[in-house]
Amino acid sequence: MSAEPIEIRPVAGAIGAEISGVDLARELAAETIAAIRCALLDHLVVFFRAQELTPARFLAFARRFGEPIEYPFVRGLDGFPMITPVVKLEHETVNFGGVWHADTTYLAEPPMATMLFAREVPPYGGDTLFANMYLAYETLSPGLRRMLDGLVGVSDSAKADGSKTREDRVRDHPAADAAKRLVAEHPAVRTHPETGRRALYVNGAHTAHFRDMTIAESAPLLAYLFRHQQQPEFTCRFRWEKGSLAFWDNRAAQHNAVNDYHGHRRVMQRITLKGDTPR
């Protein structure tokens, strides 16, 4: 099996690259998988266009990079429990994931990466923003970095900023343990296990407070960090088309699904890959 002659083109200065010349429905050579993984580590999120993936082929592609895991609150597709539907219907006004976040940091081992595939897209809007958490950490003052290095964030699945965005899907397609509240503690700054770089690891959807501090005491610093993370200089914006796939590193990137397409349908499918304990 020969390697695909892929092309990797950055889409912004801080984060993101588009990969062309590869058909993800095929059984890809090990060299091609290695090149995609390298691009992911370099750019934190990579994008593919014009792909035709059945659920089985989507899952097979994901397994080349890690172990797919089930989302704890929404039931997966029939026959493919590791693939989570990410849907906003025409009559709905709240979208799934419409807040800056890293995926499911309320798990003891949050996913290392996420893949999102577009089945149906609105005629306009519905873009996704991505942000580089290496840069978010590295551009803080030395004093604030030293302080954050000693802090632990508490992520809570019941935090309103995140839980509101999944209410419609939990109501319609609940997982068996969807009512469960999940809480996990992670360092406010984590070291990436593959690159060794330090990344800011608090997020507006799930981080409720710092360990040994109250919510009120934590709020001013968290509010500052959440604003800091969202600076345009740290971000890129991806415009979806049917058949597009985004693959991001959940350990050093955050994302936000823009909710600007009321009255239209958006149907995506998501796979998350098992991660490790943040350190």
Domain locations in the chain as residue ranges? 7-273
pLDDT at residue 194 in the model: 97
Q: Check if 43 is active-site.
A: no
pLDDT at residue 178 in the model: 64
Q: Check if 127 is active-site.
A: no
pLDDT at residue 175 in the model: 74
Cβ neighbours, 10 Å, residue 63: 13
- Tell me the pLDDT band of 226, cut-offs 50, 70 and 90: very high
Quote the strand ranges of the chain, DSSP E.
Answer: 7-10, 17-20, 45-48, 68-69, 84-88, 113-120, 128-132, 152-156, 183-187, 189-191, 198-200, 207-210, 235-238, 245-249, 253-257, 266-273
Closest CA to 242 of 122, 84, 99: 122
- Tell me the pLDDT band of 89, cut-offs 50, 70 and 90: very high
Q: Which of 101, 166, 169, 206 is catalytic?
A: 101
Of the given ranges (1-15, 103-117, 205-219), which has the lowest mean pLDDT? 1-15
Q: Which of 103, 156, 168, 249 is catalytic?
A: 103
Q: Check if 197 is active-site.
A: no
Sequence-distant (6+) residues with CB within 8 A of 174 are 73, 74, 75
Q: Which of 43, 251, 266, 270 is catalytic?
A: 270
The token duo for 89 is 């219907």
Run of H or E residues at 221: helix 215-229
Q: Check if 211 is active-site.
A: no
Is the CB of residue 267 less than 8 Å from the CB of residue 47? no
| Residue 110 per-residue DSSP state | -
CA separation (Å) from 214 to 18, 35, 221, 263, 270?
A: 42, 45, 12, 40, 34
- Tell me the pLDDT band of 5, cut-offs 50, 70 and 90: confident
Closest CA to 210 of 198, 224, 229: 224
Q: Which of 190, 209, 255, 266 is catalytic?
A: 255
pLDDT at residue 96 in the model: 87
Fold entry, domain 7-273: Double-stranded beta-helix (3.60.130)
Closest CA to 107 of 169, 162, 45: 162
Q: Please give the average per-residue pLDDT across 4-29, as a whole number.
A: 95
Per the prediction, the chain carries an average pLDDT of: 94
pLDDT tops 80 at residue 98: yes
Integer Cα distance of 108 and 182 in angstroms: 9
pLDDT tops 90 at residue 79: yes
Q: Please give the average per-residue pLDDT across 65-88, as a whole number.
A: 95
Share of the chain above pLDDT 70, in %: 92
pLDDT at residue 247 in the model: 98
pLDDT at residue 180 in the model: 85
Closest CA to 186 of 168, 166, 208: 208
- How many CA atoms within 13 Å lie on the side-chain side of 229? 30
Q: Please give the average per-residue pLDDT across 211-225, as a whole number.
A: 98
The token duo for 214 is 């109250």
pLDDT at residue 166 in the model: 59
- Tell me the pLDDT band of 174, cut-offs 50, 70 and 90: confident
- 172 vs 108, higher pLDDT: 108
pLDDT tops 60 at residue 168: no
pLDDT tops 60 at residue 215: yes
| Residue 80 per-residue DSSP state | B
